[in-house]
Amino acid sequence: MSMKKPDHSYHHGHLAESFLDAVDEIATQFGIEAVTLRACAKRVGVSPSSAFRHYADKRALLTAFATRAINQLADAMEQAKQEVQGTDMEAFHAVGLAYVTFALDRPAFFRAMWREETIYSHDERYVAAADRLAGYLKEGFVSTIRDEDPHAFSATELLAWSSVHGLASLFVDGPVARDRNREERIAIADAMLRGLAPALDR
């Protein structure tokens, strides 16, 4: 009598992505320091050797995780810009809110993006993702504020990014609104963005 094979949570050809999902789960629950290839393999339901076939070491795994995080943040910002085109909603406000909401909803991803001490920061795919996001920010915050040079950060662009990223960081790891729920934090972000808009000379 044959035994039934375990019903793994991944499909053939998508094991590498399943490991990244496991990183998200472990990092969200226990912190990024708790992530190991063996722990991810156990969570996915495969042998540790399967993990090493996809990622040479923990640093390579976290590099792939950070790369995915940056691309997903860039996607969220671009989608927010597209969704308000042709409406009365301020485009910068929508993009900024998408940035903060991404951090609130995916704190493990948000924390992992710029932790160069834990990743291979010269990895080709990571660099491409970082360049893509930087391009959005240098080009007037996804073309929502005035941009004089698409290849460099202006003072206005730095003000916008510093404010939005700073608030997101304060929500995720800082002392701001720790006792507030998601909707209340988004309301705080909404008010900050409305207050910031005049300073951006829009």
Q: Give the domain CATH number at 31.
A: 1.10.10
Asked whether residue 163 falls in the same domain as residue 189, the answer is yes
In a domain, 121, yes or no: yes
Asked whether residue 30 falls in the same domain as residue 95, the answer is no
Asked whether residue 22 falls in the same domain as residue 119, the answer is no
Taking a C-beta distance cutoff of 8 angstroms, is the pair 133, 173 a contact? no
What is the domain range of residue 29? 12-55
Q: What digits encode the pLDDT tens for the residues 9-34? A: 444 348 888 999 999 999 989 988 89
What is the structure's pLDDT at 200?
Answer: 86
pLDDT band at 7 (very low <50, low <70, confident <90, very high): very low
How confident is the model over 135-157, as a mean pLDDT? 90
Question: What's the rounded Cα separation, in Å, for the pair 34 and 79?
Answer: 32
Domains identified in the chain, total number:
2
Asked whether residue 78 falls in the same domain as residue 50, the answer is no
pLDDT value at 89 more than 90: no
How far is residue 135 from each of residues 79, 86, 149, measured CA to CA in Å? 15, 23, 11
Question: What's the rounded Cα separation, in Å, for the pair 80 and 76?
Answer: 6
Asked whether residue 44 falls in the same domain as residue 136, the answer is no
Asked whether residue 40 falls in the same domain as residue 134, the answer is no
Q: What is the pTM of this model?
A: 0.86
In a domain, 3, yes or no: no
Asked whether residue 168 falls in the same domain as residue 143, the answer is yes
In a domain, 125, yes or no: yes
In a domain, 85, yes or no: yes
In a domain, 120, yes or no: yes
Question: What's the rounded Cα separation, in Å, for the pair 113 and 23?
Answer: 13
In a domain, 1, yes or no: no
CATH number, residue 80: 1.10.357.10
In a domain, 182, yes or no: yes
Round the average pLDDT of the chain to a whole number and report it: 88
In a domain, 141, yes or no: yes
Which segment of 103-107, 115-119, 198-202 scores lowest on mean pLDDT?
Answer: 198-202
How far is residue 11 from each of residues 14, 16, 51, 72, 196, measured CA to CA in Å? 6, 10, 15, 21, 45
